[in-house]
Amino acid sequence: MEERVEIRRAARALTAASVVAYAGACRIEPAPRGDAEAAAPPYQITATVEDIMRSLVDPPADAVWDAVVTEVTAAGVTEHAPSTEEDWAALRRSAIALVESTNLLLMPGRRIAAEGSRSDLPGVDLEPEQIEALRAGNPGAWTQFVSGLHASALTVLDAVDRQDVEALLVAGDGLDLACENCHTTFWYPSLADSTAESDSRPGA
């Protein structure tokens, strides 16, 4: 009898000990210092900022700007504006792409352009390594311009959701400004003065 009680007690003690050990094993410990692998986030960065501009920012922005157009020809003035549910659904896809592209632009470690890439307009557009240096020297400005793009893309999304053509036009102008604010700081600062007042859309 005595012996059995002892065994049970011992078993209970053992269980308690293993619970403690298990809890210890489960505790999330900070990654050991210098272990970059363990600290790395699970996402993988593949494209450059230039790629993202070309593939994910510029096409939906163009779709927004081209959605409301006044065409003047010899035959008269024609207004083009989204009217069908399909038109609005397509615009909504563009607005969502724009809104979320901003998160990609904030991911640390993303290069500006591919290795060896050169400016198309040397002397006007900065070289990728100059842009990298500007961004490294002023990450707050980069973040602020990306936030500006996010906010203006949200305004576009709101106009689309309300199917408000007038609001979409205004939101399109705000979007243009958000692009230019960043470009005149990080991409072609030499044109900052001359473009401040004008409507120069990238890729247009």
Query: Closest approach of Cβ 79 to ligand HEC, in Å?
Result: 24
- Span near ligand HEC by CB under 6 A; candidates 1-9, 45-53, 69-77, 88-96: 45-53
Residues facing residue 72 across a β-bridge: 77
Please check whether residue 109 is in contact with residue 45, taking contact to mean a CB–CB distance below 8 angstroms.
yes
Q: Is 139 in the site for ligand HEC (CB under 6 A)?
A: no
DSSP 8-state class, residue 127: P
Measured from the CB atom, is 12 or 54 closer to ligand HEC? 54
**What does residue 164 show for φ and ψ, rounded to 5 degrees?**
-110, 105
Single out the residue of 149, 156, 159, 160 in contact with ligand HEC (rule: CB under 6 A): 149
**Alpha-carbon span 160 to 148, nearest angstrom:** 19
Query: Closest approach of Cβ 151 to ligand HEC, in Å?
Result: 11
Q: Is 146 in the site for ligand HEC (CB under 6 A)?
A: yes
Residue span 66-105 as binding mask against ligand HEC, x where in contact by CB under 6 A, dash where not? ---------------------------------------x
CB atoms within 10 A of CB 123: 8
Single out the residue of 56, 91, 99, 186 in contact with ligand HEC (rule: CB under 6 A): 186
How many alpha carbons lie under 13 Å from residue 36 in its C-beta half-sphere?
0
Measured from the CB atom, is 13 or 58 closer to ligand HEC? 58
Helix ranges, the chain (H): 2-26, 36-39, 49-52, 58-67, 85-106, 128-137, 139-161, 165-182, 192-195
Please check whether residue 152 is in contact with residue 179, taking contact to mean a CB–CB distance below 8 angstroms.
no
Residues in touch with ligand HEC (CB under 6 A): 49-50, 53-54, 57-58, 61, 105, 112-113, 128, 131, 142, 145-146, 149, 175, 178-179, 182-183, 186-187, 202-203
